Structure 1
Amino acid sequence: MRVEHEEEGCRCLCATNPDISYRQDTETAATVGSTGTATMTLAFSCLTLALFLLLHSCHIPSVCGHKSALTVVENTEKRGDEEEQVKVEDDDGDFTVVQPAEQWQTLKPGQAVPTGSHVRMNLQTGQREVRLGEEQLKYWTQEHREREETLSTFNPEELKQTMKKIREDLNPDSVASKYRPLEELKRDMAQLDLLVETDVQIIRRLLDQFNSSNSTTDQKLNILQELEYLVHQVDNGQTLCLMGGLQFVLEGLNSSDIRLQESSAFVLGSALSSNPAVQVKAMESGAMQTLLTKLATGQPFQVKKKVLFAVASLLRHFPYAQQHFLTHGGLQVLSELFRADRGGVLRTRIVTILYDMISEKELISQSGLDQVLDASHKERVRQYSKVSLQGELLEKGWCSLVPQLLESTEHDYREKALRALLAMVPMCLDQYRSDSSLLVSLLYLRDQYQEMVKSEMILGEENDYFAEIVELIDALQVKIK
Structure 2
Amino acid sequence: MRPNFTLFTLLLLHCWHIDRIHGQKSEGALTVVEKSKGEGADEEEATVGDEDEGDLEVVQPTELWQTLKPGQAVPAGSHVRLNLQTGEREVRLGEEQLKYWRQEHREEEETLSSFSPEELKRAMKKIKEDSNAAHNQASVESRFRPLEELKEDMAQLHLLVETDFQIMKRLLEQLNSSNTTTEQRVSVLQELEYLVHQVDNAQTLCSMGGLQLILGGLNSSDFRVQENSAFVLGSALSSNPVVQVKAVEDGALQTLLTALATAQPLHVRKKVLFAMASLLRHFPFAQHHFLSRGGLQVLSELFREDGGGIVRTRIVTMLYDMISEKKGLEAFMDSAHEERVRQYSKVSLQGALLDEGWCLLVPQLLDSTEHDYREKALRALLAMAPVCLQEYRSHSSLLGSLLSLQDQYQDLIQSEMILGEENSYFLEIVELIEALHVKMK
TM-score where L is the length of structure 2 = 0.65
Check whether the contact 2:284–2:344 (CA below 8 A) recurs between aligned residues: yes
Match of 1:202 in 2: 167
Matches within 5 A, 1:36-435: 187-188=152-153, 195-364=160-329, 366-367=330-331, 373-435=333-395
Q: Distance in 2 between matches of 1:322 and 1:385?
A: 11
Displacement of 1:438 in angstroms is 0.4
Q: In proportion to residue count, which structure has more helix? A: 2
Q: 1: distance between equivalents of 2:418 and 2:148?
A: 71
SS of aligned partner of 2:336: helix
Give secondary structure in 1 for the equivalent of 2:397: helix
Residue aligning to 1:474: 434
SS at structure 1 position matched to 2:221: coil
| Count of aligned positions | 299
Alignment deviations for residues 223-244 of structure 1 (CA, whole Å, 9 cap, x no partner): 0000011111111111111111
- Kindly state the Cα deviation for residue 302 of structure 1 after the two structures are TM-superposed: 1.8
1:450 is matched with which residue: 404, 410, 415? 410
Deviations 1:328-373 (A, max 9, x none): 0000111111111111111001101110111101111x447xxxx4
Cα deviation digits, residues 200-247 of structure 1 (max 9, x gap):
111111111111222111001000000011111111111111111110
Look up the equivalent residue of 1:453 and give its one-letter code.
Answer: I
In structure 1, C-alpha distance between the alignment counterparts of 2:326 and 2:338, rounded to whole Å: 13
| Residue type at the aligned position of 2:180 | S
In 1, distance between residues paired with 2:318 and 2:200?
A: 26
Which residue in 1 is equivalent to 2:104?
Answer: none
Contact 2:416-2:422 within 8 A present in 1 as well: yes
Instruction: Tell me the residue number matched to 1:156.
Output: none
Structure 2 distance, partners of 1:470, 1:181, is: 62
Give distance in 1, aligned partners of 2:182 and 2:299.
Answer: 31
Contact 2:154–2:160, Cα closer than 8 Å, also in 1: no
Q: Quick one: distance in 2 between partners of 1:237 and 1:418? A: 35
CA distance in 2, matches of 1:182, 1:421: 60
Tell me which residue corresponds to 1:436.
Answer: 396
Distance 2:338 2:437 in 1: 35
Amino acid of the structure 2 residue aligned with 1:410:
E
Q: Alpha-carbon deviations, 1:243-280, whole Å to 9, x = none?
A: 11110001111111111111111111111111111100
Supply the RMSD in Å over aligned alpha carbons. Answer: 2.2
- Partner SS for 1:386: coil
Structure 1 residue 179 displacement after superposition: 11
Instruction: Determine what percentage of the aligned residue pairs are the same residue.
Output: 75
Give deviations 1:90-135, integer Å, cap 9, x for gaps: xxxxxxxxxxxxxxxxxxxxxxxxxxxxxxxxxxxxxxxxxxxxxx
Amino acid at match of 2:162: E
Gaps of 5+ in 1: 1-177
- Deviation for aligned residue 1:187: 3.1
Cα offset for 1:186?
A: 6.3
Distance, in Å, in 2 between the alignment partners of 1:346 and 1:179 is: 51
Tell me: CA distance 1:435–1:194, structure 2 relative to 1, closer, same or farther (3 Å). Answer: same
Please state how far the C-alpha of 1:300 moved relative to its aligned partner. Answer: 2.1
Matched letter for residue 411 of structure 2: E
| Structure 2 runs not aligned, ≥5 long | 1-142
Deviations 1:13-72 (A, max 9, x none): xxxxxxxxxxxxxxxxxxxxxxxxxxxxxxxxxxxxxxxxxxxxxxxxxxxxxxxxxxxx
Looking at structure 1, the residues matched to 376 and 150 of structure 2 have their Cα atoms a distance apart, in angstroms, of 59
Distance across 2 between alignment mates of 1:271 and 1:467: 37
Q: Distance in 1 between matches of 2:221 and 2:397?
A: 44
